[in-house]
Structure 1
Amino acid sequence: MPDQSATDEAGERAAPRTGGAADAVAALVDAFAARRPLRAGAFIVTLYGDVVVPRGGSLWVGHVIEACARVGISETLVRTAASRLVAAGRLEGTRVGRLGYYGLTAAAHEEFAAAADRLYALPRDGSGPATFTLALQAGSAAGEPPDRASGFVPLAPGVALAAGHRPVPAGWAGLTAASDDLQGHDSLRAAVRQVWALDDLEAGYAAFIDRFSRLSDLLAAGDRLADGLTALSARLLLVHGFRALALRDPDLPPAALPQDWAGDRARRLFARLYLALSPAADAQVSSFTGLEGALEAVTPGVRARHARLGG
């Protein structure tokens, strides 16, 4: 059975529409707004990761409410979710007169920037060595084992494996091995499907492709969205859906992945659509304000993000 969180965040289906790009965005919004309960906190995290991280600073709460309202999240839900994010140490609030602003804490900014490195990138080309990290429990008094959130999966008591070079927790020993030639590709692919539950993840990626392909095709054919807020809403939903998948992707080397891996196709779709939506979406962002005044449409951080997506 596909992972439910992946289906909720990236794969929900909406009734088909027959219009152009604006209707395609409306279908995305309808599908998101139809979910109960709405994940206001998760969407605010998406908003800050996409809009604030590459620009720095903060957002006036009114603009947070405006962006969330376009996808069916009420002001009450926004304020409740923002308060919880403050309590969790991810946002910090500031008042200037009657106006309230929220910015990322230093720890959250670092966390969000690291997540952005995984989201805003094209598929790897398969060149270079394949690397894995083996974590071994160092003794009976070892600390907490590495978990899936850190990229590791348990293989046996005291043994865990991750793709790539990963730090291991205190009390554990790490062994990183790299190979230019992974032998037995078919056997390797079969093994990693089981270890990392790739069938569930691939189903999520396939649903993401199904959901966002129509809008991408319409924009590629020359259709346009009427206003910047619609473009920004579509881009936020795109990032929101892709983030739910990409951040739990083990980032396996290409030789270990199934042939015609849906994750690569989803990543290329994400890059195309993100770049297509960005001129209008970034222009809309320039109408948003923070403590330092109006946000810039394009910054060095925004340019770097676009370059990593092939723009």
Structure 2
Amino acid sequence: MVWIGNLIETCRSVGITETLVRTAVSRLVAAGRLRGERDGRRSYYRLTADAQTEFAGAAALLYGPAPAARWQFVLINGPAPDEIMQGLERDGFAKLGPRLAMGTHPATHLPERVVVFDATLATQGGALKDFVDEAWNLPRFAAAYDEFLHRFGGFSQRIGDGSSLSPLACLVARLLLVHQYRLIMLREPQLPKSALPAGWPGGEARRVFADLYVRLSEKADGHVGRHFIDGAGRLPERTPAGANRIERLEALRADPI
């Protein structure tokens, strides 16, 4: 749980107004992603159970080792399949037909009328890469990773050990780092290395992400512990989940793939 005033202050530092923050929070509450609580004149918010489950799944991809590919076919039954298909494509699935999609990780948040088949990959080499080239727009993801590396690789070199950054600047930089990385990583198909083209930039982007996250976190977490509050008082600088995240990223920046 966190006080909305902390969200407003943090967002203000990157040019997001209080009005926009409150509008976004209200929409997330209406969508069932956040739950609000009041204590006197202050409003606090936390993730709902469904949003927490989704967050945990995303965190496992962002902060954990690369998952093993688990191939699935998803068949959409019933009327109006387009909305479901669009959601699958946002999650990195390839559209094989109006009602059939394929991905390398479990599909989530699917209605009961959808049928899911687990599949075993029995093909390697050129045929697999030819299929991947047709099914997914890999150049789009490669270009996004290259842009991420250009932006945050340069930032990483400029800040050195981070001593010139304030704790708030470290927190904001870490938030922007996660935001930009997740926009690519949670949407790309998570293909096995054998199916990727030569020179795929995803591994280097993962190393830069892990390295910067770890380097920014001491000051960022310190700012949270000194300034962020819930209904009971100040938030802790470090939680067991946060410590586990740092431990995993330490290993990733040494061996990103």
What is the TM-score normalised by the length of structure 1?
0.71
Residue pairs, 1:112-191, within 5 angstroms: 112-123=55-66, 130-136=69-75, 141=78, 144=81, 146=85, 147-166=88-107, 170-179=112-121, 182-184=123-125, 186-191=126-131
**In 2, Cα distance between the equivalents of 1:298 and 1:291?**
18
Deviations 1:98-117 (A, max 9, x none): 11211111211111121111
**In 1, Cα distance between the equivalents of 2:157 and 2:91?**
35
**In 2, Cα distance between the equivalents of 1:151 and 1:135?**
12
Q: Does 2:29 match 1:63?
A: no
Aligned residue identity for 2:130: A
**In 2, Cα distance between the equivalents of 1:225 and 1:122?**
31
Name the structure, 1 or 2, with higher relative contact order (CA <8 Å, separation 6+): 1
Aligned length: 245
Give the equivalent residue in structure 1 for 2:173: 234
Judged with a 3 Å threshold, the aligned counterparts in structure 2 of structure 1 residues 214 and 187 are, in CA distance, closer, same or farther, namely same
Post-superposition offset of 1:291 = 1.6
- Structure 2: runs of 5+ lacking an equivalent: 252-257
Give the equivalent residue in structure 2 for 1:246: 185
CA RMSD of aligned residues (A): 2.4
Give the equivalent residue in structure 2 for 1:210: 150
Aligned residue identity for 1:249: E
Aligned residue identity for 1:214: G
Matched-pair contact (CA < 8 Å) for 2:4–2:43:
yes
Q: Alignment identity in percent? A: 42
Q: Does 2:45 match 1:102?
A: yes
Match for 2:229 among 266, 289, 295? Answer: 289
Post-superposition offset of 1:172 = 4.2
- Secondary structure at 2:96 match in 1: strand
**In 2, Cα distance between the equivalents of 1:300 and 1:241?**
25
Aligned residue identity for 1:82: V
Judged with a 3 Å threshold, the aligned counterparts in structure 2 of structure 1 residues 63 and 133 are, in CA distance, closer, same or farther, namely same
Post-superposition offset of 1:159 = 2.8
Matched-pair contact (CA < 8 Å) for 2:162–2:215:
no
**In 2, Cα distance between the equivalents of 1:241 and 1:269?**
12
Post-superposition offset of 1:309 = 1.3
**In 2, Cα distance between the equivalents of 1:153 and 1:90?**
27
What is the TM-score normalised by the length of structure 2?
0.85
Post-superposition offset of 1:196 = 1.4
